[in-house]
Structure 1
Amino acid sequence: MNLLRKILLPVVPVYYFITWLRNKLYDFGIKKSISYDFPVIAVGNLSVGGTGKSPMIEYLIRLLKDKVMLATLSRGYKRETKGFQLVQINSAAKDIGDEPLQFKTKFKNVMVAVDADRRNGILNLRNQEINPEVILLDDAYQHRKVKAGFYILLTPYYDLYCNDIVLPTGNLREPRSGASRADIIIVTKCPNTISSELKSSIEKKLNIKRNQVLLFSTIDYSLDIISGSKKRSISSLKDTSFTLVTGIANPKPLLEYYSSLGLKFNHLNYPDHHNFTDVELNRLKEHSCIVTTEKDYVRLASNFSEGALWYQPIEMKFISDQDTFDAKILEYIKK
């Protein structure tokens, strides 16, 4: 915890009360939420950054894209445009955000949109010529003007929300009691070897309700890295020294994974969703081999020739009970 956060500790009760009161006003119907007569699934977290929302959205896309007309709606964090935007394959990350562009690049037939106003975004999506039957809301757990029909809450294994406090000293966007709105809670980025005893311990700490389902997932790293149409194995990096560039909330799991493979690399760490300046880009171009994350790649790729910049694909993988998750989602949609 840095010094500024410690200094701001007296502000924590104020922030806690404001966010708690806001939730109660929505709970009691004093502030109005809009619900819908079609499936809306919200994915989010209680803490800021780095819980694995994008891999979760991509998992849901893979599960649903061949079964229903599907759309995703994101805020489009740090984009330079305003209002509703439909994402196209040739869109620029600065106009629609890196994660929405990542979704569209990987799933070309899925409708992807951005709008900070989720109500307006849903309205615009439903007014499209091709009408989505299911909408996935990315990072919308605290967006209570919309009442989703199904909530998925993510919390990382190394930073459970039950061990944290609200901003500005802690990392929670709202009090821990907000977890009660979730239908499914997923502990993400777990070690593959997590024991049944530890799972049970975490379940008690999180105080899972009877109507909630708790699941555990991990990060599945592809054995290949990609640059445009090119692929090469991660093992080929053992013979060279490369630069790892990250602009994500928490690069620690990737660093640990590469270190476990015995890879030798220089790590350049930037803030989450970092917009690279011309000076920074020119400095990066001095490196002979750069590996980055998929989210960073969509922001950087247009500045590099194919083969000069590579990205590490990842997927979310359930440690167990994947069928339980899939069945819950499909059951909700069928209703």
Structure 2
Amino acid sequence: MWRYLSVLLYPFSLLYGLIMWVRNRLYDKGMLTAVEFDVPVIAVGNLSVGGTGKTPHVEYLIRLLKDYFRIATLSRGYNRKTKGFFLADGQSTAEQIGDEPMQFHQKFPGISVCVGEERMLAIPQLLMERPYVQAILLDDAFQHRSVKPGKNIMITEYSRPFTHDHVVPFGRLREGRSGYQRADVIIVSKCPANLAVAEKERFLREINPQEHQRVFFTTLRYGALYNMLDGEPVNIPAGENVLVACGIARPKPLVQHLRERFSKVYLLPFPDHYYYSRKDLEKMKLELERTEGNPKIIITTEKDAVRLHLLRDYIRELQLPIAVLPVEISFLFDEADSFNNYIFDYVAGGGPDAPLVQEYP
């Protein structure tokens, strides 16, 4: 069935790919304007639709820079229930700014987090309200050509690299494979922690990076579970059964990780960026009661937690135990220092006269 359906979808992929190719050529030739800013701008994105692990890579950059530079993140705020420019404050919610920006805001309160569909307009507004910002991280902006970043970081997933993919709807690419040429850095994400050097070399040959490009390989590293409501550590004995409730594009790596520790992992999936309802919580409680073993607990992601937090009062009422599993990325082949220095050299060289700071105003 899929074989015949894919034949029908392929012409649409060709048409969409052609439209994107023409658009990119217009930007490359200067017929469409891309705005540059004096402040260092780093764009993090991908060629494909979701699931490459972009968020933990943005968080890596935040951790790398936040103690030395006054930084800001700018996202579109996908699936938020507002429009226009918003600068996060103490009253912000995931509904206002989106789940990923809210995650940045909660985890890194010392940075500026904002959202805006039109980055070209949002950046001047950000700098007007926060003139001390010294570097901007553009989240999911690889195809947003109206802003020309100083550094373009493109992420591709190890198990589904862009080199084997096709343009939507036949495949998962937002534009043709040749779009990778705009990247300054290509990161192969979600690699096995024990990735062999021979496999790395095979990937490099397949990607065939251009002279100006650098390629890095990262793996996911999961942290310790903590209670969603109070932040206290949660200890679940190895070998128990757990229920995973999450709305993310690619839950498979998460489930695989948990299966290494627990006897059985039951998955209750929701759509990516999904806003939970009371009925969803009631469904979680019912599924949890059906799960064998003790202790009975639900595991979710940090991205889901910021959306679930909107229903925290009802979660307390249901006495629903929810543990959050944080995730970070780690560079393979001892290349973290090389990446860090590359980013530091750019931000320090492209910022104002005195980029290093000791405290925020």
Q: TM-score, normalised by structure 2?
A: 0.88
Question: In structure 2, do the counterparts of structure 1 residues 28 and 130 end up closer, same or farther at CA, with 3 Å as the change threshold?
Answer: closer
Q: CA deviation at 1:88?
A: 2.4
Within 5 A, what are the aligned runs for 1:133-212?
133-212=134-213
> How far, CA to CA, are the matches of 2:189 and 2:7 in structure 1?
28
Aligned partners of 1:125 and 1:131 also within 8 Å: no
The alignment's C-alpha RMSD in Å is 1.7
Code of the residue aligned with 1:93 in structure 2: it is A
Code of the residue aligned with 1:257 in structure 2: it is H
The residue that corresponds to 2:358 in the other structure is none
Aligned partners of 2:225 and 2:323 also within 8 Å: no
The residue that corresponds to 2:323 in the other structure is 310
Residue by residue, what CA displacement relative to the aligned partner does 1:176-207 show, whole Å, maximum 9, x if unpaired?
A: 11111111100000001111110010011111
Question: In structure 2, do the counterparts of structure 1 residues 4 and 86 end up closer, same or farther at CA, with 3 Å as the change threshold?
Answer: farther
Aligned partners of 2:247 and 2:273 also within 8 Å: yes
Moved more, 90-99 or 38-47: 90-99
> How far, CA to CA, are the matches of 2:183 and 2:239 in structure 1?
46
Residue by residue, what CA displacement relative to the aligned partner does 1:65-86 show, whole Å, maximum 9, x if unpaired?
A: 0111110000100001000001
The residue that corresponds to 2:65 in the other structure is 64
Q: CA deviation at 1:301?
A: 2.5
> How far, CA to CA, are the matches of 1:200 and 1:184 in structure 2?
16
The residue that corresponds to 2:104 in the other structure is 103
The number of equivalent residue pairs is: 333
The residue that corresponds to 2:292 in the other structure is none
> How far, CA to CA, are the matches of 1:301 and 1:167 in structure 2?
33
Percentage of identical aligned residues: 41
Q: TM-score, normalised by structure 1?
A: 0.95
> How far, CA to CA, are the matches of 1:226 and 1:151 in structure 2?
36
Determine whether 1:327 maps to 2:341: yes
> How far, CA to CA, are the matches of 1:5 and 1:109 in structure 2?
48
Q: CA deviation at 1:94?
A: 1.3
Determine whether 1:225 maps to 2:226: yes
The residue that corresponds to 2:309 in the other structure is 301
The residue that corresponds to 1:26 in the other structure is 27
Aligned partners of 1:89 and 1:104 also within 8 Å: no
The residue that corresponds to 1:14 in the other structure is 15
1:108 counterpart SS class: coil
Q: CA deviation at 1:244?
A: 0.3
> How far, CA to CA, are the matches of 2:320 and 2:240 in structure 1?
14
> How far, CA to CA, are the matches of 1:38 and 1:19 in structure 2?
28
The residue that corresponds to 1:245 in the other structure is 245
The residue that corresponds to 2:79 in the other structure is 78
Question: In structure 2, do the counterparts of structure 1 residues 5 and 231 end up closer, same or farther at CA, with 3 Å as the change threshold?
Answer: farther
> How far, CA to CA, are the matches of 1:239 and 1:307 in structure 2?
21
> How far, CA to CA, are the matches of 1:223 and 1:98 in structure 2?
21
Question: In structure 2, do the counterparts of structure 1 residues 110 and 242 end up closer, same or farther at CA, with 3 Å as the change threshold?
Answer: same
Q: CA deviation at 1:262?
A: 3.2
Question: In structure 2, do the counterparts of structure 1 residues 90 and 241 end up closer, same or farther at CA, with 3 Å as the change threshold?
Answer: farther
Residue by residue, what CA displacement relative to the aligned partner does 1:244-282 show, whole Å, maximum 9, x if unpaired?
A: 012101011111111122332321011110122332222
Question: In structure 2, do the counterparts of structure 1 residues 81 and 240 end up closer, same or farther at CA, with 3 Å as the change threshold?
Answer: same
Higher radius of gyration, 1 or 2: 2
> How far, CA to CA, are the matches of 1:42 and 1:4 in structure 2?
35
Q: CA deviation at 1:239?
A: 5.7
Aligned partners of 1:35 and 1:147 also within 8 Å: yes
> How far, CA to CA, are the matches of 1:220 and 1:278 in structure 2?
32
